[in-house]
Amino acid sequence: MTQDTTVRVPVTVTVNGTEYTAEVPPRRTLVDFIRYDLGLTGTKEACSVGVCGICTVEMGGVIVSSCILLAVQASGSQITTIEGVADGEKLHPLQEAFMNYGGFQCGICTPGQIMASRALLEQNPDPTEDEIKDWMMGNLCRCTGYYKIIESIQKAGEVIRLGN
């Protein structure tokens, strides 16, 4: 990244309500842009091929894998990352539930788990266990065995249905 003689192009995105512009080579992936150019390191990268779900962010109202998107493809978009999920000091019900019901252990996959499950609960705050498994199947976790993640999502759904 340091010896670039590459042509750089401006990318402007709104992330968590703040507009950012940075000049990057077109080959910059969205996850690298978010982490290195914007300094928002809550979003992680692991598999780099769109499979593991760790880099999940919301773009244009839907969740995407930021490792297989270019930053230039996101130009002009509204993006939400894990840093934008809490309401100020008040954590999102999913963040509370993942802490209270053991939804994470090492924590590396958690930003992606929360971004993915947040999108699910926004369209269906009362998902069945099968619906959770189907929606979350691409978000891998090597610690929890998934049961605690499913429980955390169900508990957060209860809180959301009761109006927080």
Partner 1 sequence: MRDFQFHTPSTLAEAHSLLSDYGEEARVISGGTGLINMMKQDLIYVDHLVSLQNIDGLNYIRSTGEGLQIGGRTTQQEVATSGVVHENNPLLTETYGEVATVRVRNAATVGGGVAHGDPAQDPPPTLLVLDASVHAASKDGERTVKVRDGWFVDYYTTGVEEGEIVTGITVPAAPANAKTTYIKFLPRTADDYPTVAVSALGVVDGGVVTDVRVGLGAVNSTAVLAESVAGVLVGKEPTADLVREAAETVRDLCAPTPDFRGSAEYKTDMAVVFTRRALTRVLGLE
- Our finding on whether 50 is near partner 1 (CB under 8 A) is yes
Interface segment toward partner 1; rule CB under 8 A; list 6-14, 89-97, 101-109, 150-158: 6-14
Q: Which of 22, 48, 86, 125 binds partner 1 (CB under 8 A)?
A: 48
Cα(156)–Cα(30) distance, rounded to whole angstroms?
Answer: 29
Q: Work out how close the CB of 11 gets to partner 1 at its nearest, in angstroms, rounded to a whole number.
A: 10
Q: Which positions from 83 through 142 interact with partner 1, judged by CB under 8 A?
A: 116, 119, 133-135, 137-138
104 with 113: CB under 8 angstroms?
yes
Cα(139)–Cα(65) distance, rounded to whole angstroms?
Answer: 10
Residue 68 or 91 having the CB closest to partner 1: 68
Q: Which of 12, 27, 41, 90 binds partner 1 (CB under 8 A)?
A: 27
- Our finding on whether 82 is near partner 1 (CB under 8 A) is no
Residue 2 or 88 having the CB closest to partner 1: 2
Residue 26 or 107 having the CB closest to partner 1: 26
Residue 25 or 102 having the CB closest to partner 1: 25
- Our finding on whether 145 is near partner 1 (CB under 8 A) is no
C-beta neighbour count of 35 within 10 angstroms: 19
Which whole-number Å values give the CA distances from 92 to 28, 89, 162, in the listed order? 30, 9, 14
- Residue by residue, DSSP assigns 97-150 as HHHHTT--SS-TTHHHHHHHHHHHHHH-SS--HHHHHHHHTTS--SSS-SHHHH
Cα(132)–Cα(121) distance, rounded to whole angstroms?
Answer: 9
129 with 74: CB under 8 angstroms?
no
Which residues of the shown chain bind partner 1 in the complex (CB under 8 A)?
6-7, 9, 25-27, 29, 48-51, 53, 56, 62-65, 68-70, 72-73, 75, 116, 119, 133-135, 137-138
